[in-house]
Amino acid sequence: MVLLRPAKSPSGALLVESGVRITEEIRVKLVGAGVRHAHIVGGPDDTRLREELSALEARFSKTEETQPMRMLQELVREHLEELYR
Amino acid sequence: MIATRSLRAQIEHLDTLSTIPSVVRRLLETFENPKTSLSDIASFIAQDPVLAAKVLKVVNSPIYGFPGRISSITQALLLLGLNVVRGLLLGVSVLGMMQKSIVGLWEHSVGTAIVSKVIARRKGLKDPEVVSVAALLHDIGKVFLNLKFPEAYKAILAQTDAKAIFIADGETENFGVTHADVAAWVGRKWNFPALLIEQMRYHHKPHLSKNFMLHTSIVHFSDILIRARGFGYGGDGLVPSVDPVAWKILSLSRNEIKETVVEVEDLLEQAEELILAGEIG
């Protein structure tokens, strides 16, 4: 998620410039400063999803290349994408 | 390598180990008596309010999902039957030991039990709770191997991570048997029914199950599915391949598996309290 417009405090002070990626640290800072709405672009931070998908690949690294197992891996990948996107 | 006969004798006399909690020791003594009745089990649990609370937590969890709340052990015994409650008792008694053996094993066991319940119901089994309890206990052999041979087992666990090998292969290399064999020994020693023993013994080789292939196939596939999802830790970070015979018997479509995964995700969330119970033993 990236800020589409600058985030300002309720009193109008600039807190974060537009174009900045919202990390957990920035989110906490904004909420702490009383910001309740922000204009954003893009989906949620996909770091967790990337980690989950990478772990999924590792888990299947010793699995036989059979049709059921390929289907199972693909199905869990879809499920994780739905969970974390 | 220790001779299998000697290994089995040592596992079967685990109740003499000083590291076994007294409640488990007393429980195993009770199980050794083939004439143990419903009222014996009820009295045993009644003497231990902590144990009773743990059993009630499991029977009221999404593993079973009875519509009304089960508030007493007597009610649980009547609803679930002697053998299921005996299995649950063993499960909740060793859960602290499970987490000490392998961090994440309790989560893996609860997760496998929940998947088993969902699939057993989907397949129309009349006794889904028997499959759930077998799934809850399917890796209990790992706990007992770790208790009896802590150093050797620690080395196996280190190997599974370092070399990316299946824990069952590490066990075979070191002991000549796997946790599934050990679970079957333990099950026989403590008079568990053949249905439960066969599911534990063949959860990696369901095609060898002579009498309960559908039940065993459900536990087998549930173990695979929960590993694929990455929930808990069964002693290695890998997903084993599905047994072709089990796959054919289960005959689950892609859509059915997808629905199962989604349903399980919700149930795992609902089971959070039970899963956290494993953290505190």
Query: Could you please report the per-residue DSSP string of B166-226?
Result: -HHHHHHHHHSS-HHHHHHHHHHHTT--HHHHHHHHTSS-GGG-SS-HHHHHHHHHHHHHH
* Residue A15 predicted with pLDDT over 70: yes
Q: How far B224 CA sits from the closest chain A CA (Å)?
A: 10
Residues A53, A32 within the same domain: no
Check CB contact of B179 with chain A, cutoff 8 Å: no
Q: What does DSSP say about strands A40-41 and A14-16: parallel, antiparallel, or unpaired?
A: unpaired
Domain match, A79 and A54 both:
yes
What are the chain A neighbours of B224 within 8 Å (beta carbons)?
A: 72
More confident residue, A2 or B236: B236
Q: How far apart are the first and last CA of chain B?
A: 32
Tell me, what's the pLDDT at B278?
62
Domain that holds residue A65: 47-84
> Would you call A78 and B258 a contact, using CB atoms and an 8 Å cutoff?
yes
Question: Closest by alpha carbon to B128, among B94, B79, B95, B86?
Answer: B79
Mean pLDDT, to the nearest integer, of A20-32?
Answer: 82
From chain B residues 200-229, the ones with a CB under 8 A of any chain A CB are: 224-225, 227-229
Separation of alpha carbons B281 and B271, rounded Å = 16
Among B164, B240, B254, whose Cβ lies nearest the Cβ of A75? B254
Tokens of B105: 């094993």
Domain segments of chain B as ranges: 4-280
Distances (CA, A) of B242 to B154, B208, B251: 27, 14, 12
Q: Give the pLDDT of residue A43.
A: 63
Read off the amino acid at residue B272. Answer: E
Q: Nearest CA to B260 among B136, B115, B61, B99? A: B115
Q: What is the pLDDT of residues B62-92, one digit of tens each?
A: 888 776 678 888 888 888 888 888 888 888 8
H or E element in which residue A18 lies? none
> Which residues pair with residue A8 across a beta bridge?
A14
Nearest to B13 by CA among B201, B148, B194, B178: B148
Query: Which residue type sits at A51?
Result: E
What is the dotted CATH code of the domain comprising B4-280? 1.10.3210.10
- For residue B280, the model assigns a pLDDT of 45
Alpha helices of B102-127 — where are they, by DSSP H? 105-122
Name which of B45, B42, B109 is nearest B78 in CA terms. B42
Mean pLDDT, residues A7-14: 84
Best of B229, B238, B239 to disrupt the A interface (most A CBs within 10 Å) is B239
Distance from CA of B238 to the nearest CA of A (A): 4
The answer to whether B163 contacts chain A (CB < 8 Å) is no
CA distance B177 to chain A (A): 21
pLDDT tens, residue order, chain B (281 aa) = 778 888 899 888 877 666 677 777 788 888 778 888 888 888 888 888 888 888 888 888 888 877 667 888 888 888 888 888 888 888 888 877 777 778 899 899 999 999 999 999 999 998 888 899 999 999 999 999 998 899 999 999 999 989 999 999 999 999 999 999 999 998 888 888 899 999 999 999 999 999 999 999 999 999 999 999 999 999 999 999 999 999 999 999 999 999 999 999 999 988 887 777 665 44
CB contact under 8 A, B239 and A60: yes
Q: What is the number of domains present in chain A?
A: 2
Tell me what pLDDT residue B279 has. 53
Nearest-CB residue to A55 (from B230, B254, B262):
B230
Element (H, E) at A7: strand A7-8
Q: What is the ipTM of this complex?
A: 0.86
pLDDT on residue B68: 67
**What is the least distance, in Å, from the CA of A35 to any CA of chain B?**
30
A35 and A58 housed in the same domain: no
